[in-house]
Amino acid sequence: MRYPFSEIEPKWQKYWEETKVFKTDLNKTDNKLYCLVMFIYPSGAKLHCGHWYNYGPTDSWARYKKLKGYNVFEPMGYDAFGLPAENYAIKTGIHPYDSTMQNIKDIREQLKKMGGMYDWDAELMTCAPEYYKWNQWIFLQLFKKGLAYRKNAPVNWCPKDQTVLANEQVLADGTCERCGTTVVQKNLTQWFLKITDYVEELLSGLDKINWPEKTKLMQRNWIGKSVGAEIVFSVEGSDEKIKVFTTRPDTVFGVTYVVLAPEHPLVDKLTNTENKNKVEAYLDSIKSLTEIERTSTVKEKTGVPIGANAINPANGKEIPIWIADYALLTYGTGCVMAVPGQDERDWEFATKFNLPIIRTVEPPKDFQGEAYLGDGPAISSDFLNGLNVVDAKKKIIGWLEENNHGTKKINYRLRDWLISRQRYWGTPIPIIHCPRCGEVPVDEKDLPVELPYKVEFKSEGASPLLSNEEFINVKCPKCGGEGKREADTMDTFMDSSWYYLRYLDPKFDAAAFNQKLADEWTPVDMYVGGAEHATMHLLYARFIHKFLRDIKLVNSDEPFSTLLHQGTITNNGAKMSKSKGNVVNPDDFTSEFGADVFRLYLMFMGPYELGGDWSDKGIAGTDRFVQRSYDFFVRYKDILKKASPKETYDIDSLSNEEKSVYKKINQTIKKYDEEINNFRFNTAIASLMELLNELKYLKNCSDEICAYTLKRFAVMLEPVAPHLGEECWNLLGNENSLMEQPVWFKVDPKGLLEDSVNIAVQINGKLRATLELPMNSEQETVKKSVFAEDKILKHTQDKQIVKEIFVKNKIYNIVVK
717/730 Cα distance (integer angstroms): 13
807: Cβ contacts below 8 Å, ≥ 6 apart:
813
Burial of 484 (0-12, 13-18, 19+ CB in 10 A): middle
Shortest Cβ distance from residue 42 to Zn ion (Å)? Answer: 19
Greatest CA separation found in the chain?
Answer: 112
**Is the Cβ of residue 88 or residue 708 nearer to Zn ion in the bound state?**
88
Q: Mapping DSSP to helix (H, G, I), strand (E, B) and coil, where does residue 150 land?
A: strand
Using the minimum distance from each CB to Zn ion, give the nearer residue, 178 or 186.
Answer: 178
Q: Least CB distance from residue 435 to Zn ion, whole Å?
A: 7
> Judged by CB, which is closer to Zn ion: 423, or 663?
423
Size of the site for Zn ion (CB under 5 A): 13
**C-alpha 585: how far from chain center:** 25
What does 755-792 look like in DSSP terms, one character per residue? PEEEEEEEETTEEEEEEEEETT--HHHHHHHHTT-HHH
Residue 673 CB-half CA count within 13 A? 14
Answer for which of 317, 394, 478, 750 binds Zn ion (CB under 5 A) is 478
Q: Which stretch, 20-28, 178-186, 232-240, 330-338, contacts Zn ion (CB under 5 A)?
A: 178-186
Nearer to Zn ion, 437 or 760 (CB): 437
Task: For 715-770, give the DSSP string.
Answer: HHHHHHSHHHHHHHHHHTT--S-TTTS---PPP-HHHHPPPEEEEEEEETTEEEEE
Among the residue ranges 400-408, 436-444, 447-455, 691-699, the one whose residues contact Zn ion (CB under 5 A): 436-444
179 binds Zn ion (CB under 5 A): yes
The rounded distance, in Å, linking the Cα atoms of 329 and 336 is: 10
Task: State which residue, 476 or 640, has the beta carbon closest to Zn ion.
Answer: 476
Q: How far is the CB of 426 from Zn ion (least distance, A)?
A: 15
How far are the Cα atoms of 238, 270, 279, 325, 619 from residue 274, in angstroms, in the given order?
17, 12, 10, 21, 74
Rounded distance between C-alpha atoms, residue 389 and residue 227, angstroms: 13
Give the x-and-dash track for 724-743 against Zn ion (CB under 5 A). --------------------
Name the helix (H) or strand (E) containing 234: strand 226-235
Q: Which residue's CB is nearer to Zn ion, number 479 or number 793?
A: 479
Angle made by CA atoms 694, 700, 706, in degrees to the nearest 5 = 70
Sign of CA dihedral 774, 775, 777, 782: positive
Among 434, 584, 714, 731, the residue binding Zn ion under the rule CB under 5 A is: 434
Q: Quick count: other Cβ atoms within 10 Å of Cβ 277?
A: 11
Smallest gap from Cβ 84 to Zn ion, in A, equals: 11
Minimum CB distance to Zn ion, residue 567 (Å) = 27
Position 474 contacts Zn ion (CB under 5 A): no
What minimum distance in Å lies between the beta carbon of 83 and Zn ion? 8
Minimum CB distance to Zn ion, residue 474 (Å): 11
| Residue whose CB is less far from Zn ion, 11 or 478 | 478
Residue 532's Cα: distance from chain center in Å?
7
Q: How far is CA 489 from CA 130, 419, 421, 567, 619, in A?
A: 16, 8, 5, 33, 45
Beta carbon nearer to Zn ion, 150 or 216: 150
Cα 426 to Cα 131, 176, 223, 451, 516, distances in angstroms: 12, 19, 27, 8, 29
Q: Which of positions 156-175 make contact with Zn ion (CB under 5 A)?
A: 158, 160-161
- Residue partners of 684: CB distance under 8 A and separation at least 6: 671, 672, 675, 676, 720
Under rule CB under 5 A, residue 408 binds Zn ion = no
Which residues are within 8 A (CB) of 460 and not within 5 positions of it... i.e. 6 or more apart?
162
Nearer to Zn ion among residue 108 and residue 478 (C-beta): 478
Q: How far is the CB of 530 from Zn ion (least distance, A)?
A: 19
Cβ-based nearer residue to Zn ion, 379 or 440: 440
For residue 126, give the amino acid letter: T
Smallest gap from Cβ 634 to Zn ion, in A, equals: 55
Binding residue for Zn ion, selected from 142, 176, 361, 447, defined by CB under 5 A: 176
Q: How far is the CB of 431 from Zn ion (least distance, A)?
A: 12
CB of 176 to Zn ion, least distance (A): 3
Q: What are phi and psi of 699, to 5 degrees?
A: -65, -20
Give the residue with the Cβ less far from Zn ion, 119 or 161. 161
Considering beta carbons, is residue 160 or 799 the nearer one to Zn ion? 160
Shorter beta-carbon distance to Zn ion: residue 107 or 442: 442
Cα 397 from Cα 230, distance rounded (Å): 9
Distance between CA atoms of residues 786 and 767, nearest Å = 12
* Residue 114 vs 418, nearer CB to Zn ion: 418
Query: How far apart are CB 487 and Zn ion at their closest, in Å?
Result: 17
436 sits near Zn ion (criterion: CB under 5 A): yes
Residue 434 or 512 with smaller CB distance to Zn ion: 434
How far is residue 511's CA from residue 502's CA, in Å, rounded to a whole number?
10
Please list, in sequence order, all residues whose beta carbon lies within 8 angstroms of the beta carbon of residue 558, skipping any fewer than 6 positions away: 205, 208, 209, 523, 542, 545
Please give the residues from 581 up to 640 whose contact with Zn ion meets the rule CB under 5 A.
none
Out of 311, 437, 743, 769, the residue judged to bind Zn ion by CB under 5 A = 437
Provide the minimum distance between the beta carbon of 670 and Zn ion in the complex, in angstroms, as a whole number: 51
Smallest distance, Å, CB 420 to Zn ion?
Answer: 16
CB 438 to Zn ion: min, Å: 8
For Zn ion, the binding residues in 512-571 under the rule CB under 5 A are none
- Among 148-156, 435-443, 490-498, 699-707, the segment contacting Zn ion (CB under 5 A): 435-443
Measure Cα distances from 105 to 14, 50, 112, 553, 663 in Å.
Answer: 17, 19, 11, 33, 48
Q: Does 475 bind Zn ion (CB under 5 A)?
A: no
List 89, 266, 267, 476, residue binding Zn ion (CB under 5 A): 476
Distance of alpha carbon 271 from the chain centroid: 48
Q: Of the candidates 526, 508, 415, which has an alpha carbon nearest to the alpha carbon of residue 124?
A: 508
Least separation, in Å, of the C-beta of 448 and Zn ion?
21
- Give, in degrees to the nearest 5, the angle at Cα 624 between 623 and 625: 90
Least CB distance to Zn ion at residue 574 (A): 24
Is 355 a binder of Zn ion (CB under 5 A)?
no
DSSP 176-196: BTTT-PBPEEEEEEEEEE-GG
Considering only the stretches 96-104, 177-185, 719-727, 748-756, report the one whose residues sit in contact with Zn ion under the rule CB under 5 A.
177-185
Q: For residue 53, report the phi and psi dihedrals to the nearest 5 degrees.
A: -70, -30
**Of 23 and 436, which CB lies nearer to Zn ion in the complex structure?**
436
Cβ contacts of residue 538 below 8 Å, gap of 6+? 215, 219, 560, 563
Q: CB nearer to Zn ion: give 439 or 657.
A: 439
Q: Among 11, 32, 108, 178, which residue sits at the site for Zn ion (rule: CB under 5 A)?
A: 178
Instruction: Work out how close the CB of 727 gets to Zn ion at its nearest, in angstroms, rounded to a whole number.
Output: 47
Contacts (CB under 5 A) with Zn ion, residues 103-162: 158, 160-161
Packing angle of the helix pair 49-67, 96-114 (nearest 10 deg):
50
- Between residues 437 and 651, which has the closer beta carbon with respect to Zn ion? 437
Tell me: does residue 479 bind Zn ion (CB under 5 A).
Answer: yes
Close Cβ partners of 167 (under 8 Å, ≥ 6 residues apart)? 156, 291, 415, 418
| Residues at the contact surface with Zn ion, assessed by CB under 5 A | 158, 160-161, 176, 178-179, 181, 434, 436-437, 476, 478-479
